[in-house]
Amino acid sequence: MSRSRLLRGPALAALLVSVPLCLARADDAPPPPHDAPKLPHFQPKQVLSDGSVTVRGQKIDYQAAAGTLVVHPKGWNDSDPDPAARDGKNAEAAMFYVAYFKKGARPENRPITFVYNGGPGSATIWLHMGAFGPRRIVTADDTHTDAAPYRLVDNDDSLLDATDLVFIDAPGTGFGRIAGPEAEKQFYGTDPDAYAFTSFIAQFLGRYGRFNSPKYLFGESYGTTRSAIVANELQQEKGIDLNGVMLLSQILDYDNSIDGPQYNPSVDQPYVLALPSFAATAYYHHKLANPPSDLRAFLTEVEQFALTDYNAALQQGTALPDTERDRIAAKLHDYTGLPVEYIKKAHLRVNGGEFEQTLLGADEMDTGRLDSRFSGPAMDPLAQRPDYDPQSAAMSSAYLSSFNDYARKTLHYGDGGATGDGWVDYKQSANNIRDWAFTHQPPNAQRPVRGAPNVLPDLAAAMIYNPKLRVQLNQGYFDLGTPYFEGVFEMRHLPIPNRLAGNVEIRQYQSGHMVYAHQEALAALHDNAADFIRRTDNQSAAQPARPATH
């Protein structure tokens, strides 16, 4: 499922005006007039509808706005109609969104949260239809959801009780489109993508009169990478302070990814940070010889071992004595359920795909990557890693089918009626992961930094620039795409003054990457996010952050 898939391997994972689409022309042709007609996709649209939802016993009447806003790459010159003056930045993106506004609320007193999934290159149907929208798709908890008909229900866990919501699809996904010279290059990359979202948010605030509302970001997976950059760009480039940033299933430093650490030998940190998630998965599938009675206490023990004995052993490399290697391998077996000889053959270093393929290998089953509670038959029992993600396969159809119906029948968008564009295909993914430019230029760097992106400096800069900015990290124990201890480690290594460390809070759940796929975890996620907003929206006396809970 491309919504949250992070790249495996060594590479990993606009000025706001409506202007005419610049078409290629012969050198001797006159420039198109500034008011030349735009292609249908590249005109801002809005389709309004009304609805209501009951959340925790509170009925909320809302207005929904489905539409597109048009953004351009960095460097676009909106003051000159001559395309030659735009430094080649002639591409544009019509970004699709669905916004929900509580009726009767004063905009300056009503928080607004911008929500997006990751990919990169994913639409946002997952958070929209699985977590916080007014309607929610019901899927099986840890097994493959039955084929249609699917069940869409009123969402008692919608965040509309605490905030207005804007679900944003990435450029080239959803009902949005990109066009123009080198459009893929202009939008499909770490920094171009973040600039597009920054531009979209600033434009949205102006169009809907929400500059004075309490403002939040909520990103999942690669959306957390994006949020770190966008939070800083909104403040320093647009002059827009945020009240808070909520991160779900975080990855800010791609050198910590467990997907392909074997391509980066001598960097052993991914193995250390993934071990607690391996242990949680083995616990869930009853693969531990001595299963603990308390999962959280067990994971605390594994975290300590990972940071100390395991890390020290890996740092020695081939100099590690055989007796110590045997001791560490035996302990890894106790924590992961993997055979001791397999662990030794892997030189104590098992990557994510190998673990997913091996844990249930005796039964010719693979675990899920994004949610290791899920499992499915192995395509190739002899492969080194799974050929598909059982969790993604288990629910993709339910989400996409349900949203297609909901968008066209309830939001009245995409069927050609309200917008006059004819039938429009909804794209859950831009399928651009192999073409994505993962280069990133951190704050104060003179040029992009080589290697995997690390946006810890961006989030740190946002927190230093606005020392009242609060951050909430939400994580699932059974996430092998972005292991939870990786996120904890990254938060502990933000380059910020120690006194700002208290601005970060961590919430953890017995679920996977899509925490909301588990009903009990969804309810807790709602409560934690709503509580975070209410404590930081500056509507009441400031309250200190609660200590991290598990």
pLDDT tens digit sequence for 469-512: 999 999 999 999 999 999 999 999 999 999 999 999 999 999 99
Is 422 found in the same domain as 378? no
Is 462 found in the same domain as 359? no
**Cα-to-chain-centroid distance, residue 447:** 26
In whole angstroms, give the CA distance from residue 47 to residue 97: 11
Nearest CA among 145, 205, 158, 148 for reference residue 62: 158
Is 221 found in the same domain as 284? no
pLDDT in tens, 412-431: 998 876 666 767 899 999 98
Q: Percent of the chain, pLDDT > 70?
A: 87
Last residue of a domain, one of 352, 369, 391: 391
- Number of domains observed in the structure of the chain: 2
Is 247 found in the same domain as 264? no
| Average of per-residue pLDDT across 452-481 | 98
Last residue of a domain, one of 326, 356, 391: 391
Regarding predicted confidence, which is higher, 479 or 446? Answer: 479
Task: Give the C-alpha distances (Å, rounded to integers) separating 385 from 104, 140, 193, 366, 380.
Answer: 53, 25, 30, 9, 9
Is 182 found in the same domain as 117? yes
Q: Percent of the chain, pLDDT > 90?
A: 82
Is 318 found in the same domain as 275? yes
Reduced 3-state DSSP string for 334-385: HHHCCCHHHHHHCCCCCCHHHHHHHCCHHHCEEECCCCCCCEEECCCCCCCC
Q: 435 pLDDT exceeds 90?
A: no
Last residue of a domain, one of 391, 420, 435: 391
Q: 29 pLDDT exceeds 50?
A: no
Is 457 found in the same domain as 340? no
Tokens of 179: 């066009």
Q: 240 pLDDT exceeds 50?
A: yes
Is 240 found in the same domain as 192? yes
- Is 527 inside any structural domain? yes
pLDDT in tens, 30-84: 333 344 445 556 788 899 999 999 999 999 999 999 999 999 998 886 665 555 5
Q: 25 pLDDT exceeds 80?
A: no
CATH number of domain containing 80: 3.40.50.1820
pLDDT of residue 148: 96
Is 198 found in the same domain as 49? yes
pLDDT in tens, 160-213: 999 999 999 999 999 999 998 889 999 999 999 999 999 999 999 999 999 999
Mean pLDDT in the chain?
90
pLDDT of residue 517: 97
| Average of per-residue pLDDT across 120-140 | 97
* Confidence bin at 7 (pLDDT 50/70/90): very low
In whole angstroms, give the CA distance from residue 306 to residue 454: 22
Cβ-Cβ contacts under 8 Å for 77 (sequence gap 6 or more): 15, 85, 86, 87, 89
Nearest CA among 364, 363, 360, 384 for reference residue 372: 360
Is 445 found in the same domain as 412? yes
Q: Which stretch of DSSP H or E encloses residue 125? A: helix 125-127
pLDDT of residue 112: 98
In whole angstroms, give the CA distance from residue 296 to residue 309: 20
- Is 30 inside any structural domain? no
Domain interval for residue 240: 40-255+399-536
3-state secondary structure of 112: strand
- Is 28 inside any structural domain? no
Q: 86 pLDDT exceeds 50?
A: no
Q: 317 pLDDT exceeds 60?
A: yes
Is 465 found in the same domain as 518? yes
- Is 293 inside any structural domain? yes
In whole angstroms, give the CA distance from residue 83 to residue 53: 47
| Average of per-residue pLDDT across 257-264 | 96
pLDDT of residue 11: 37
* Stated pTM of the model: 0.90
Is 348 found in the same domain as 423? no
pLDDT of residue 179: 92
- Is 2 inside any structural domain? no
3-state secondary structure of 274: helix
